[in-house]
Amino acid sequence: MSLDAPDQGTAPRTAGTAPAEPPTTWSALRPLVLRLHFYAGLLIAPLLLVAAVSGLLYALSFQAEKLVYRHELTAPVTGPSLPLEAQVDAARAANPDGTVTAVWPSYEDGATTRVLMSDPEVAEDRSLAVFVDPYTAKTRGELTSYGSSGALPLRTWLDELHRDLHLGDVGRHYSELAAGWLWVVALGGLLLWFGRRRRTGRDLLLPERGAKGRRRTLSLHGSVGLWAVTGLVLLSATGLTWSRYAGENIGAVQDQLGGATPALSAALEAGAGGDGGHEGHGSGHGAAHQGSDVGIDKAVAAARASGIEGRIAVTLPADGKGYVVKETDTQYPVHLDSVAVDPADGRVVDELRFDDYPLLAKLTRFGIDGHMGVLFGLPNQLALAALMVALILLVVWGYRMWWLRRPTKERRLGAGRPMPRGAWRKLPVTVLLPLAAATALVGWFVPLLGISLLVFLAFDIVLGALSKARTGAS
């Protein structure tokens, strides 16, 4: 997202040269793209920089979490794992005021079992995670947990910093603006980079050899942007899926296209599970659950028998619903099947296979998991970190080019002057009308992008009026 208009890339005509070629659609459109790229870089780049820095920290937080909370997350292997029911009882004994809602059994040797509880002292959108040694049933600590990925306090804090700067709904406007404009400046920069004339094809993919000063900075900006553009556009699209305003529109379109994510039904038939149904969140031993209950271990065994494999999460029965046992392995190939189990007899009452998801729902899940850094594990997180570093460099190089054009004694040119105004008036009608229609549609679909674009236009009009007033006064 360059903050400066790139070199024109065309040599001036001299006497005896052939007449200039007729203007192309790109030659008419290029000044408009340059001007938009300039203003977007100037005014939106600070938001992109904040998003990139916080996103980089978030991408690194997965591995940092393993180090910071090593004591809670791991336990020495001292023998076979104890039944889950014994581990849940240990968590309840450590926190008698809490109510067990879910259990994440140990998924590999040396990993603790995570027992999630609702607690009066924990916010409603959080859970209290009690970490239990699966070999001794001793607790190894308690931490707040957030979201389906089980973010612990460090990653939760960085996630909220990236999402809303810890400002709540007001702060979400920043991230939606950043996500809404990221694809615009990325694709605009791509068009400008491909539209430049260059000596060799190498200069398209790699920084120009021997370039100095502003030209070298532009070469770095363009070549790195070319390599990063696909990832940046994907991050922009997936980030918008859970934004406040654009996210609602995306969800509505997804539903209309039949791409809504299917849901597992854990509801029990009337009278099932014993008289009185379910009250609170049982642990499988019948203390809080009113009625017969086969217990969490038999519920998991029933789920395993129906094909649920690998890393799982178990939601305990409550409010007329049975156990829900779901796979949570998001690394490729993903394992995200789930089943519901009747606590009365351990019978599987419903199942949902990831293979049965609509294609659009699968792609949405892959995109969101990739954005969160959980799709491919460490490679995903490293790729996110590399993209964030690239975005930080692109912003820094853009401001550097802007700075290099500041007025000096030898050069009176104003700092970062954009392309002249009125570029849109030079567009052919056959280009202008479809472009205007597409812009209006995108502005409606991504409201904060449309509103900020109108602000840019008003800003440009004011600058034009002031320029005319100065010209008339001189």
DSSP letter for 332, please. Answer: S
DSSP of 353-391: -GGGS-HHHHHHHHHHHHHHT-SSSHHHHHHHHHHHHHH
Round to the nearest angstrom and report the end-to-end CA distance of the chain.
35
- Tokens representing 420 are 């002249």
Give the C-alpha distances (Å, rounded to integers) separating 342 from 210, 235, 302, 348, 373. 71, 40, 10, 6, 34
Q: What pLDDT, on the 0 to 100 scale, is given for residue 451? A: 93
Distance between CA atoms of 386 and 227, rounded to whole angstroms? 11
- Tokens representing 222 are 């363009």
Distance between CA atoms of 210 and 397, rounded to whole angstroms? 18
In degrees and rounded to multiples of 5, residue 16 shows phi and psi of 90, -5
Q: What is the pLDDT of residues 10-61, one digit of tens each?
A: 444 444 554 555 567 777 788 888 888 887 888 899 999 999 999 999 999 9
Residues 6+ apart with CB under 8 A from 297: 83, 84, 85, 284
Longest dimension (CA), the chain: 99
What is the Cα 324 distance to its own chain's centre? 27
Distance between CA atoms of 232 and 187, rounded to whole angstroms? 9
Q: What pLDDT, on the 0 to 100 scale, is given for residue 64? A: 97
Contact 294, 287 (CB under 8 A): no
Q: What is the pLDDT of residues 280-317, one digit of tens each?
A: 334 433 334 456 899 999 999 999 999 999 999 999 99
- Tokens representing 443 are 């502005």
Distance between CA atoms of 365 and 373, rounded to whole angstroms? 12
Choose among 449, 426, 422, 425: nearest CA to 438.
449
Q: What pLDDT, on the 0 to 100 scale, is given for residue 415? A: 44
Q: What pLDDT, on the 0 to 100 scale, is given for residue 39? A: 79
Q: What pLDDT, on the 0 to 100 scale, is given for residue 468? A: 75
Residues 6+ apart with CB under 8 A from 410: none
Q: Which amino acid is at 436?
A: A
Contact 418, 33 (CB under 8 A): no
For residue 314, what are the β-bridge partners?
103, 325
For residue 312, what are the β-bridge partners?
327
Burial of 393 (0-12, 13-18, 19+ CB in 10 A): middle
Summary count for the chain: helices (H), strands (E): 13, 8
Choose among 372, 419, 367, 424: nearest CA to 233.
367
Choose among 392, 391, 435, 471: nearest CA to 26.
435
Within 10 angstroms of residue 119's Cβ, the number of other Cβ atoms is: 17
Q: What pLDDT, on the 0 to 100 scale, is given for residue 385? A: 98
Long-range contacts of 465-471 (CB under 8 A, 24+ apart): 467/421
DSSP of 391-437: HHHHHHHHHHHHHHTS--SS--PPTT--SPS-GGGGS-HHHHHHHHH
Burial of 184 (0-12, 13-18, 19+ CB in 10 A): buried
Give me the average pLDDT of each 10-residue run along the chain (474 residues).
49 48 72 83 91 97 97 96 97 95 96 96 93 97 95 97 94 94 94 78 81 88 94 96 92 90 88 43 42 91 96 94 95 92 96 95 94 94 98 94 69 50 69 87 94 84 76 67
Burial of 207 (0-12, 13-18, 19+ CB in 10 A): middle
Radius of gyration of the chain (CA): 28
Q: What is the pTM of this model?
A: 0.85
Q: Which amino acid is at 303?
A: A
Q: What pLDDT, on the 0 to 100 scale, is given for residue 206? A: 87
For the beta sheet containing 348-352, the strands, ordered from the edge strand earlier in sequence to the opposite edge, are 139-145, 127-132, 113-118, 99-104, 312-315, 323-327, 338-341, 348-352
Q: What pLDDT, on the 0 to 100 scale, is given for residue 57? A: 98
What dihedral do alpha carbons 399, 404, 406, 410 form, nearest 10°?
180
Q: What pLDDT, on the 0 to 100 scale, is given for residue 197? A: 66
Q: What pLDDT, on the 0 to 100 scale, is given for residue 210? A: 81
Distance between CA atoms of 284 and 369, rounded to whole angstroms? 31
